[in-house]
A = this chain, B = another copy of it.
């Protein structure tokens, strides 16, 4: 018979085991034993607990190694816990229902009317979600988000919109609202190439330029970086935000985002005007990044959205202007790369933000069951 304290430890390690399987995918018992620093019999007991509760299953994988002996893999049961993630963009709404372990169980997309308000978009989200039963729900929205409120979104034309409340009244459940750039940063950090980078900056080129980040190994709560409105040329071009000399205005981003593919292709084919436009945009981007790098000292910067194309076409200009605006000590360890998940980044990250909360709830629930035994 397990003594209460053994039971407590077991419940704590159960969370750790499930968390690892969710993040890292199927693993053998031997791998889990090593990774969690527990002994083989403890792993066996935890696996049988989680198997009994329906969270994991053991499958016989393909033969590995020279001996060709099939190895037993422990893996999450996707349906045991699911998260709905929606991404709101200008003219379209996307949904992913993601299961434990990161398996995408469903994807869907519907057009929305340009200029639709929060209530209309929330209704569309409710229709898209239909009667899916999920354990957590997250919405990713482009712009500046504060709690459930979209403080400002030029892409959607919203200001101070309580989209969390819109979603709650349309679907009858609580939603978490995050900004698209933060969601994408978490996506790249949890399931992209930047897995585990302690200080990650993800730059997104969309309707405007925004950035999300992971700081000291934790996704930054609160808000995205309004990268496009770093002033790189005081008194320069008037920006649509009301300020002057914002990097967005200097780059001509508003037009650029529509034509980035054509422009970069033309630049590659040797079109002089296009090359000059790409080079200048890269330079302004590098200047803005200089300020952001000085302020946040990241280990890695990822370029996503249309910034991916721009960076690939103007890396030299970006780097040389970054070098003029950042101390060499801050650049020494800094890596610049393109984002790996592309358009899947925001939904992937939004779902992970949901799972983070869900895992914490499970952990507390398991511990609380223990505590309630003490009365």
Contacts and interface: CB of A to CB of B under 8 A. Distances in A.
Contacts of A230: 290-291, 294-295
A222 B229 contact: no
A221 B229 contact: no
A231 interface: yes
Q: Classify chain A's interface size.
A: 35 or more
A275 to B, nearest CB: 21
A335 interface: no
Given A4-B3, A9-B371, A216-B222, A234 B324 contact: yes
A215 interface: yes
A5 B372 CA distance: 11
Interface in A268-318: 287, 290-292, 294-297
Interface in A171-205: 198-199
Contacts of A370: 5
A296 B296 CA distance: 7
A374 B6 contact: yes
Given A5-B4, A327-B226, A292 B295 contact: yes
A146 to B, nearest CB: 8
A6 B375 CA distance: 10
A273 B144 CA distance: 41
B9 A234 contact: no
A42 B329 CA distance: 52
Interface in A1-19: 3-9
B226 A221 contact: no
Nearest to A159: B329
A145 to B, nearest CB: 10
**Ranked 8 nearest A-B pairs via Cβ:** A4-B5, A291-B291, A295-B295, A231-B325, A292-B295, A151-B329, A216-B221, A152-B329
